[in-house]
Amino acid sequence: MSRGACGAGRRPSVSVVVCTYTERRWNDLMAAVNSVVAQLHDGDECLVIVDHNAALLRRAEAGLRHHDAVRVLPAERAPGLSGARNTGVTHGTGEIVAFLDDDAVAMAGWLDESLAVLTEPRVAAVGGAAVPHWTAGGRPGWFPPEYDWVVGCSYRGLPRHRAAVRNVIGAAMAFRRDVFDDAGLFDGAIGRVGAAPLGCEETALCIRLHQVRPDARIVYLPSAVVRHRVPRDRSTVRYFLHRCYAEGVSKARIGRLVGRTDALASERAYVRRTLPRAAGRELARAARGRPEAFGAASMIVAGVAAAGLGFVGEHVRHPMPSPSAMPQRRRAEPWPSS
């Protein structure tokens, strides 16, 4: 693959990849694709990658054939989000490869704002803000905003203005194509398969990018907004705790791949600073006569405990190698040779 070179001041071409796996999200998928198509310019494209679902593939091919800029492709790699994303990277033609979840809608300006930042020489990746769209009567009173990552959204504790960050959020992100030349593709050993609430494949990619290109900048751009749908079944305590546990499992797996120090650097700051402030805020609200705040404070603690259990359990099942045995620059799956 050729390395993308985005000139300053020139809007680069983009391939926007939307991965999908179930017909239950058909209406969401159509909304996501329409929101992308409305923002494409000449030379851009939208790739819909169907993850090992023949019926959905046929339906998408028929339902999207009227969009000249949309290509529907089957995932060519192992089932799971990483494999579907990698199919999009491999087949995309744009200088930039952007990703939007199939249950998210890009707000006006999302794409152009992201691409404008990516024309800056040192910027390798941009992540937008994913705002939750609660479909079950609004945010549950017990659900603290510091945990919006549980539902794939930007969370309280992220910068309020443009800033350099360790990694982007998967719901809405964009990379220069040469990132995949240098850091490899998304790692199929981690991440979501179907509805299983694992994740962090984009985190691992960003960490590998920092390891092979320390001067590369990954930017969080809160003005580039997508609205991420949160269905009823993800607004429950059961899902909350399950997702926190899975996050701990995912972070343990990342630690084995890229090293524990890099895998947990942001999380340590989050647990030490962001969550104690959040717990104090909720307890103060409870003292002022807001009983639901006790629930939020309890979930802050329970979420940490669940993630810790997931991390420790995965570590016990698959111990990490010693630091001296850790690979320093793991590329994951490389580009295909032809």
Per residue in 56-71, pLDDT (tens digit) is 999 999 999 999 999 9
Residue of 313 and 176 predicted with greater confidence: 176
Q: What is the pLDDT, as a whole number, of residue 3?
A: 43
Whether the pLDDT of residue 252 is over 80: the answer is yes
C-alpha closest to that of 266 among 167, 146, 163: 167
Region 269-296 average pLDDT: 93
Question: How many angstroms separate the CA atoms of 92 and 17, rounded?
Answer: 8
Helix 260-269 and helix 237-258, axial crossing angle in degrees, nearest 10: 140
Please report which confidence band the pLDDT of residue 293 belongs to, taking 50, 70 and 90 as the band edges: very high
Distances 230 to 118, 131, 172 between C-alpha atoms, Å: 29, 10, 15
Q: Which has the closest alpha carbon to 151: 167, 166, 135?
A: 135
Helix (H) or strand (E) holding 249: helix 237-258
Quote the pLDDT of residue 8: 59
By the 8 A CB rule, do 92 and 1 touch?
A: no
Q: 319 or 121, which is more confident?
A: 121
Average pLDDT over residues 220-238: 96
pLDDT of residue 265: 72
Backbone angles phi and psi of 134, in degrees to 5:
-75, 125
Is residue 337 very low, low, confident or very high in pLDDT (cuts 50, 70, 90)? very low
pLDDT at 184 over 60: yes
Q: Kindly provide the b/e burial profile for residues 10-45, where b requires at least 16 CB atoms within 10 angstroms of the residue's own CB.
A: ebbbbbbbbbbbbeebeebbebbbebbbebbeeebb
DSSP-assigned states of every residue in 86-119: HHHHHH--SSEEEEE-TTEEEPTTHHHHHHHHHT
Q: Which two tokens stand for residue 174?
A: 């964009």
Domains of the chain in start order, with CATH, are: 13-103 (3.90.550.10)
- Count of beta carbons in the 10 Å neighbourhood of residue 148: 22
Q: Calculate what percentage of the chain has a pLDDT beyond 70.
A: 88
